[in-house]
Amino acid sequence: MSFAERDGVIWFDGELIPWKDAKVHVLTHTLHYGMGVFEGVRAYDAGSHGTCIFRLNEHTDRLFRSAHIMNMAMPYSKDELNEAQKLVVRENDLTEAYLRPMVFYGSEGMGLRADNLQTHVIVAAWNWPSYMSPEAKEQGIKIRTSSYTRHHVNISMCKAKANGHYINSMLALKEALDCGCEEALLLDNEGYVAEGSGENIFIVRNGELYTPELTSCLDGITRNTIFQLADECGLKIHEKRITRDEVYVADEAFFTGTAAEVLPIRMHDGRVIGEGRRGPITTRLQEMYFNAVRGEASNRTEWLAPVK
C-alpha cells in the first residue's frame, strides 16, 4: 500500500488531519532543494508501562539542534512536539510504532535566495515492525565498503539530521544491495570508517568496544544508549579513528540505530568477522537494549515516555 493511501491521522502544523489529506504543493521548497530536518523515533510495547516512546526527549532535542544548525526557525516548542508525537501514536491506535517528525520549508517562495519561506512541521506514526528480519538480528548481516564518501564537515553540516544528506545514504545502500549485501559502510574523506547508510558502527577487540569519533557521522541516540549500557556492565568504549581493515579483523561488529536497533555484522567485504555470527558482547548489549525499550530494565525507565 502506498504511504499516501493509509488510514489514520497526521499532525500537521499544530492540527490533526486525515492521513490522506496530509499533502503539500509540488513547488514545496524542501522538495526542490532538500533543506529540511527530521527524526526517526520508535514507540514500543513496554509491558506494564504501556506503549512508550523510547528516548523521546533526546530525539526532540536533536531535531531542534538540527533545525538550529540549518538556521530553520522552529514554530513550536519542544513540549508541543513531544505531545504531538504521543498524540499521533494514541490517535492512530498503535501499540508499537515508527514516528517521523519532520521540519520543512513550504511553497511560499522558490529559488536559493527565497527569504519568505515558512517552516512547517509534521509528525506521522505507523506500524513498521523491523528494519531487518528477525534472523538478521541473530545471525548478522553482510556489508560492503561503499564507493561513496561520507559527508565532510566543511561540505555539509554533519551534526544535523538533514533531509538532503540522505541522498548519499540511498546511493550507498543501493550499491551494497546490488552487490548482494544488506548494508553499506561509508568512509570519511580521509578513508577512515564513518558509519553505515543510516547507522553508527561499533567493533569489538579483546573485550573492548571501539567506535568512530563523531566527525563525519551522526551523533546517534542509539549509539549513546550503547555507551550507557556498556558502562553499566563494565565494558570500555574507545572513540577513535578506525580503518577498514580493523573491521575485517574485529572479534565482533555491530550497527546501531533507531531503525536498525542493535544489528550484528557477520561479514565485511567478503571477510568473515569473528566467528561469522553474533558474538557474546553484541548479544549482551542487544539483550540489554531490548530490555530497556520493552520496559524490562527497572533502572532505565527514564528513557520511556508513555503515550497515555
Residues acting as catalytic residues: 161
CB atoms within 10 A of CB 220: 24
Q: Are 217 and 161 in contact (CB under 8 A)?
A: no
- Residue 148: all three cell numbers together: 561513496
φ, ψ (nearest 5 deg) of residue 121: -135, 135
Rounded Cα gap, residues 20 and 91, in angstroms: 15
Q: Are 205 and 167 in contact (CB under 8 A)?
A: no
Closest by CA to 156, choosing from 188, 120, 112, is 188
Closest by CA to 184, choosing from 242, 175, 245, 167, is 175
What DSSP element (H or E) covers 35?
none
- Say if residue 246 is exposed, middle or buried (CB neighbours under 10 Å; 0-12, 13-18, 19+): middle
Closest by CA to 127, choosing from 97, 92, 95, 90, is 97
- Say if residue 295 is exposed, middle or buried (CB neighbours under 10 Å; 0-12, 13-18, 19+): buried
φ, ψ (nearest 5 deg) of residue 56: -55, -50
